[in-house]
Amino acid sequence: MHSRLEASASVSLSGATGIATGETHRATGLSPIRVKQRIGAVDAARGCAMVLVCASHIKQYVEVSTPDLYTLLVTTTRIATPTFLLMSGFVIGYLLRGNSRDNVTWSLVDRGLFLVLVVHFVLGLNGLGYQPLSEWVFGKVMITDVIGIALLIAVLVRGASTAALISVGAVLCCISWVIAMTLELEAEPLRLAGAMLFHLRSVPDRMIDAAVVPYLGVFLIGMGLSSYCRDALVNGDSRWLARRFAVIGACGMALSIVGIIAWHYGKHSLPEAWREPHVASLLRATLHPGYKAPPSPAYLLFYGGCGMLIAATFFHGRPRWLVGPIAEKAAVIGKASLLCFIVQDWLLLLVPHAFGFDHLTFAPFWLAYMVVCVLILFYVSRQWMRLDGNRFFTIGLKRLMRRRRRTAEQLGTSQVSDVPLHRSPPERPATEPR
């Protein structure tokens, strides 16, 4: 059976996290890379990110009535986007280095085009009430758009080394930040392109949830981490993975904290040229993890590090009585993350707007409503995976290529069958007697 891109599939972790071990591979007689299971810890981390997305979408309703809750939600839910991009890149990088690369490649292209050409038009429907149609179609960038583009780019860089992927990803994150904070454009088409690619600070009030270039960089870093961890994934070494994820996540958070401390104690000792208001403002924003739009390097380090620590916890799986049930439930949502993202957008943004209760500001109501939405996502995800529903997220390209490959194989077989198995040597012409 051909490999399917579930934006996720690969190996799963044993115990609470579920990794298929080397013994499992040998017992099945299959190459470890071909075991069609999932990375349970990554699914759980993506499921947690999806719950945080739900929490982030109720914060706007309590901003005025409960500012403390609003601040808490803003601070904690920022983990979602970097975590989801890192984990998605991690899985895609693993898939592309598998044995069935041709099948995976076409699956990625098919899913990427589906995200850009179809999902783009089913998200943010509440925006049609106050945005012109052209602005709603061409002026918004959702995280699904970024992942769709990233899947297409991933196919092109599938042979890149670990160092190359991580280096290019880091450069994209840093360069996009400088461009977003400093570039000012006059022509409207250029302003729109700049907002979509970099989330330019000079172009406000756009429906940009996730700028393309910096989050593409995060995705590539995730692919690089997958390449770095590939042997441990194949061998089912969850302890090694837990340690590496924890170290990388802690280092990212520590660097961000060091930047905050350095700014706090060193801002009065800056060189004269750096004390210019615009330069000092750029430097402060660069070192502060609170700048999400556009995403600052400190934001990506700190909250991406948080996401790595979450995944490390699920890889570690201890204490099992606590982590096990959480990982199991979160992984259900993580396995159907695309469906959940669409459904939560409808439940938390479209439904309140359509039924006129988006003006309510009673915080307990929205917290209860969010819990109900998460339970709905859990139930829908279970039913969806029983149906193998991710196979419906396609534009048909993968099926078309599969049909063409099958036809080519049949033609090749028929041509081979027409060739005689044994050919007798050609008869030598009789020579005339002299």
List pLDDT tens digits, range 227-250.
999 999 999 999 999 999 999 999
Better-predicted residue by pLDDT, 31 or 292: 292
Q: Which residues contact 200 (CB under 8 A, 6 or more apart)?
A: 179, 180, 183, 184, 185, 191, 194, 294
Helix, coil or strand: residue 253: helix
pLDDT category, 139, cuts 50, 70, 90?
confident
Instruction: State how far the Cα of 99 lies from the Cα of 97, in Å rounded to an integer.
Output: 7
Instruction: State how far the Cα of 362 lies from the Cα of 377, in Å rounded to an integer.
Output: 23
The reported pTM is 0.86
Chain-centroid distance of CA 123 in Å reads 17
Instruction: State how far the Cα of 111 lies from the Cα of 170, in Å rounded to an integer.
Output: 25
Q: Furthest-apart CA pair in the chain: how many Å?
A: 118
Instruction: State how far the Cα of 347 lies from the Cα of 120, in Å rounded to an integer.
Output: 17
**Of the given ranges (69-83, 188-202, 305-319, 321-335), which has the lowest mean pLDDT?**
188-202
Instruction: State how far the Cα of 281 lies from the Cα of 276, in Å rounded to an integer.
Output: 8
Instruction: State how far the Cα of 418 lies from the Cα of 322, in Å rounded to an integer.
Output: 64
**Of the given ranges (1-10, 58-67, 168-177), which has the lowest mean pLDDT?**
1-10
Mean pLDDT for 123-139 is: 81
Helix, coil or strand: residue 37: strand
Tell me the sheet residues that pair with 37: 10
Query: What digits encode the pLDDT tens for the residues 392-418?
Result: 998 988 777 777 777 776 776 655 555
Mean pLDDT estimate for the chain: 85
Q: Is the dihedral of CA 288, 294, 297, 302 positive or negative?
A: positive
DSSP-assigned letter for residue 432 = P
Mean pLDDT for 127-141 is: 81
pLDDT category, 206, cuts 50, 70, 90?
low
Q: Which residues contact 55 (CB under 8 A, 6 or more apart)?
A: 73, 76, 77, 370
Query: What digits encode the pLDDT tens for the residues 58-75?
Result: 999 999 999 999 999 999
Query: What digits encode the pLDDT tens for the residues 7-26?
Result: 334 333 333 344 443 333 33
Instruction: State how far the Cα of 95 lies from the Cα of 97, in Å rounded to an integer.
Output: 5
